[in-house]
Amino acid sequence: MTRTLFITGASSGIGAETARQAVAGGWNVALMARSREKLTALAGELGDAALAVPGDVTRMDDLDECVGRAVDRFGGLDAAFANAGRGMSRPGTEDGDLDDIRGMIDLNVTALVQTARATLPELRKTQGTLVLTGSGAGRRHIAGSIYGATKWFVHGYAGNMAEEMREWGGRCCVVAPGMVDTPFFADGAPDKLQPQDVAAAIMQMIDAPPRANIREIFLMPQD
C-alpha cells in the first residue's frame, strides 16, 4: 500500500526536494505552500503521486482544508513534514522590525504547532511520523538571534511531541541542518549543504522501521 506524506513549505528548497525523493521512494505527496504556480509546476513534474494544495499555514482553516483534500485524494496520511519557516530581514531585538518579528514567530512557531494540530488526527490512525524542520541555530546560542530562538522552540516541541506520540505508536522527529543552499539565503550558499542532503535525512526518518524513532538528525557542512 502506498504511503502519503503531507509537506508544508513545499514549493522550493528542502520541501520540494523532499517531495521528489518521497515520490521516487514510492510515496504519495500532498504539497502545501502559498505559491499556487510553483506548487502546480512541481505537482506536474511529479505526476499522479503528487497533489498541490495551495494555502497559508498561518491560517488554521487553510491547513484543515488542505489536510482534508489530501486525505480525500490519498485515503490518509502516514507522515507530515512541517517545513514552512523563514528568517528576518534585519535580525536582532533592537534593530528588527516588530511586524517582521511577529510574522516570523507566527510562521516558525505558531504555524508549526497548527500543522501538528491539523495532521495528528490522521497520523494517529496510521501510527505515523511527524517531522519538524529545526536548525543548527536551534542547537547553539547565536548573539541576539530571534530566529535561532524560534528553532530552539522547535527542538523542544519535537521532543515533547515524541513523548506524546509514542503513547499511541507515532513518532516525532526533527531535522537540524546548518546552512543549506536554498532561497532562504538571498545570495545562495553553494559551498554548504544542498537540499537533497536534508531530504535524504527526512526520508531516513519516515522510512525507518516502526521499532525505531530517529528523533533528531543534525547535519552540518563538512567544509
**Residues with a known catalytic role:** 147
Alpha-carbon span 132 to 49, nearest angstrom: 22
* 3-state SS, residue 183: coil
What DSSP line would sit under 45-112, residue for residue?
HHGGGEEE----TT-HHHHHHHHHHHHHHHS--SEEEE------SS-STTTS-HHHHHHHHIIIIIHH
Alpha-carbon span 213 to 155, nearest angstrom: 15
Look-up of cell digits 490512525: 125
> Do the Cβ atoms of 107 and 58 come closer than 8 Å?
yes
